[in-house]
Amino acid sequence: MKPSETSAAWTSQRNGDKLAFAFDLGNASSPAGSFSSVGCAASCHSNLGSSVMYPSSGKVDIWNWDLALSSPLGYAVDMVANTDSLSHDNGNRLYYRNSNGNTGRSGPAYEWDGSTQTVTLPNGQSSILDPAFYLFNKTAFIGNIQRGDSIYQSATPPGDCVSCHGSVGQGGSSSIINTISQNKKSRAALMASMDNIADMAPYWLPLSQQDRDDIVAYLRGLSGVPGYYLNTPDGSNADIKAISNLTPIQVKNAMLPVTNVHTVYQLLITRKLNTTNTDDAQFDLTTQRSYTFGVALMDNDGKNHIGSLKETLIFK
Ligand code: HEC
């Protein structure tokens, strides 16, 4: 679903593949009924027809695997929906908003620092996160985007980048520079590369360091900066582990502005029956062998999801 806001400021769609489970955590209920009788309808929509994810009493444990925000680090997000909020479990979270202000439209606080983003997954394997999509090793985002824009668009050099690369980096007599692949270069590497392009010398070399930083801030705006940065979770946020056979190529295809072409992939989610954390549903097989739960699937779309309201998990 397209957001109704304008695209005049920074924006992030928050779309991506997600798979969410909901388990009762303290007798959740809504006008639709109790969790044990109606499943997810007790948790997700206290006012039926609204998209508010809160029960009207009790709490619900939400397990949310997210292609962009939890999968790269090998987890599913662990959350609790209670009567007035949907909040993360205790501990360091898997991701934080990459914003320098109070809203997602304020612009990024961080960008990639240029170092290889090697992470250790909960299963002990290591993985390298592609900076085109994921922000993990970060440094402060610097530069004045508006100033960079005006130097970029100036009618005469220095600046005047528009004459070869187009008004929004879409390309012209020279290359397209507004693609996410630009994020594979750190700020320093991108500047060094520009220093060495002979055609660009009169336009780029006379600029001050401040001018250059402002232009790169503008270029980052054109190519996009991850709207969240990832973080190694701990405490109750590290309870739900996930492995999938999703490859970066499939992720890349899913993010291209064409139809969603990624094919089938599989996902294995594991969690201890008893985490001993108070913000988790526990499974005590000595007292109870069947548990009501709900499941929802988001196919590259956070708002329109399909779900089953009531499922039963039976331990045999
Ligand atoms: C006279 C034409 C011209 C102008 C003006 C120009 N460039 Fe370029 N730019 C090039 C050429 C040529 C390349 C090399 C790639 C290609 O062949 O298109 C390039 C490449 C780039 C790249 C890609 C570098 C990389 O390693 O990925 C960036 C970014 C870039 N230019 C930014 C700018 C900025 C910012 C300005 C304004 C200060 C600017 N360019 C002005 C011709 C130009």
Q: Which residue has the higher pLDDT, 27 or 213?
A: 213
Enumerate helices (H) and strands (E) in the chain, giving the number of each. 7, 15
Q: How far, in Å, CA of 175 to CA of 297, rounded?
A: 39
Q: Which residues pair with 86 in a beta bridge?
A: 81
Q: What is the pTM of this model?
A: 0.89
Q: Which CATH architecture has domain 145-223?
A: Orthogonal Bundle (1.10)
Helix 209-223, helix 145-153: angle, nearest 10: 100
Q: How far, in Å, CA of 75 to CA of 113, rounded?
A: 24
Q: What are the residue boundaries of the structural domains of the chain, listed by start?
A: 18-94+235-314, 145-223
Q: How far, in Å, CA of 32 to CA of 179, rounded?
A: 46
Return the H-helix or E-strand segment holding 253: helix 248-255
Measured in Å, residue 169 CA sits from the centre of ligand 1 at: 9
Measured in Å, residue 175 CA sits from the centre of ligand 1 at: 7
pLDDT in tens, 199-245: 999 999 999 999 999 999 999 999 989 999 999 999 999 999 999 88
Residue list, ligand 1 pocket, CB within 6 Å: 159-161, 163-165, 174-175, 177, 190, 193-194, 197, 199-200, 203-204, 215, 219
Diameter over CA atoms, the chain: 78
136 contacts 119 by C-beta, under 8 angstroms: yes
21 contacts 46 by C-beta, under 8 angstroms: no
pLDDT in tens, 67-94: 889 999 999 999 999 888 889 999 999 9
Nearest CA to ligand 1 atom 21: 194
DSSP secondary structure letters along 168-218: TS--SSS----SGGGGGS-HHHHHHHHHT-GGGHHHHTTS-HHHHHHHHHH
Tokens of 31: 């006008």
pLDDT at 288: 95
Q: Minimum mean pLDDT among 55-59, 87-91, 248-252: which range? A: 248-252
- CA pseudo-torsion sign 295, 299, 301, 303: negative
